[in-house]
């Protein structure tokens, strides 16, 4: 895909009421792009809606859990608004021991992090494919790469999104449409204030242990991230547009952001290398004898 640095594009951004979604909305507008910002309940952030619409953007209501969520893309395209960049940013996380989550809570987490973005992808990719240009940005998490104790369900939902996107990227590459998975470490957003603990009390054996410690250390003000989400947002924008630090990196599919995320990626790479060194000969000799 050629650089978009001089193009005026239409961005569709979920979870625009705070954090990365809001900052990316502001940045894209400041660069002269069209932006459709969305959130579950715009009436809760009237000042932000006025700010964004005052700068030429649009703010629409979108609950990504809505089974008909993809219709918002269909409606925009039908009105003549061609979406060039979809940003799947909306999300939240639930924590607790893997063994004790009620299935309803697991499904609710998967609905927001996996099925909701998937509906938007299914809606927008056919248009991008037909136009032979487009970009799907998914905001991922270190949890999906190699998460900590208590993150099992959230990690599963993020890993599922990552796995789907890896295949999607290969399928749509021939049509000049690409994906970018942004793997985030800890940043100075209000994400941890939206973190929830499972409704089921932690089994006694976990109390005071690592699972309990990690879950509670991430709650609200207990967690002090050192990542600057404004700096990180500028990197996301540059890689998407092939500008600034993203020059020449337009075709990269995974963007790790945050020192903690980079260290985690290194650790995961080392673990994979260890697995291969340990089992390569064994794993390579399980064929049918001829």
List residues with catalytic annotation: 154
Q: Which long-range contacts (CB under 8 A, 24 or more apart) does 70-73 make?
A: 70/119, 70/120, 70/122, 70/123, 71/123, 72/38, 72/120, 72/123, 73/12, 73/120, 73/123, 73/124, 73/127
Q: Do the bridges between strand 196-197 and strand 94-95 make them parallel or antiparallel, or are there none, so unpaired?
A: parallel
Dihedral angle sign, alpha carbons of residues 197, 198, 199, 204? negative
Q: Which of 145, 149, 180 is nearest to 159 (CA)?
A: 145
- How many Å apart are CA 144 and CA 256, to the nearest integer? 12
Helix (H) or strand (E) holding 35: strand 34-39
List the structure tokens of 273.
């290398």
The phi, psi pair for 136, rounded to 5°, reads: -110, 120
Residue 58's DSSP bridge partners are 36
Beta bridge partners of 141: 184
Phi, psi for residue 222 in degrees, rounded to 5? -70, -20
Q: Are 135 and 168 in contact (CB under 8 A)?
A: no
**End-to-end CA separation in angstroms for the chain:** 46
Distances (CA, A) of 103 to 100, 107, 135, 178: 9, 6, 33, 34
Residue 7, phi then psi, degrees to nearest 5: -95, 145
């Amino acid at each position: 895909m050629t650089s978009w640095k001089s193009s005026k594009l239409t961005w569709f951004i979920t979870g625009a009421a705070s954090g990365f979604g809001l900052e990316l909305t502001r940045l894209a507008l400041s660069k002269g792009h069209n932006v459709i910002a969305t959130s579950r309940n715009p009436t809760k952030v009237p000042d932000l809606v006025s700010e964004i619409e005052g700068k030429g953007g649009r703010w629409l209501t979108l609950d990504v859990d809505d089974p008909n969520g993809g219709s918002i893309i269909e409606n925009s395209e039908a009105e003549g608004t061609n979406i060039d960049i979809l940003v799947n940013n909306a999300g939240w996380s639930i924590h607790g021991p893997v063994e004790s989550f009620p299935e309803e809570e697991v499904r609710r987490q998967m609905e927001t992090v996996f099925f909701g973005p998937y509906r938007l992808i299914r809606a927008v990719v056919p248009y991008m494919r037909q136009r032979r240009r487009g970009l799907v940005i998914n905001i991922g998490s270190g949890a999906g790469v190699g998460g900590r104790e208590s993150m099992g369900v959230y990690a599963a939902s993020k890993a599922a999104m990552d796995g789907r996107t890896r295949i999607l990227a290969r399928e749509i590459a021939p049509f000049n449409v690409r994906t970018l998975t942004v793997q985030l470490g800890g940043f100075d957003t209000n994400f941890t204030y939206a973190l929830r603990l499972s409704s089921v009390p932690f089994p006694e054996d976990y109390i005071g242990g690592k699972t309990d410690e990690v879950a509670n250390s991430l709650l609200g003000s207990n967690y002090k991230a050192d990542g600057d989400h404004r700096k990180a947002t500028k990197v996301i924008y540059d890689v998407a547009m092939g500008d600034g630090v993203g020059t020449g990196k337009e075709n990269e599919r995974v963007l790790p952001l945050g020192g903690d995320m980079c260290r985690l990626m290194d650790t995961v790479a080392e673990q994979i290398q260890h697995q291969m060194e340990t089992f390569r000969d064994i794993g390579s000799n399980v064929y049918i004898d001829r």
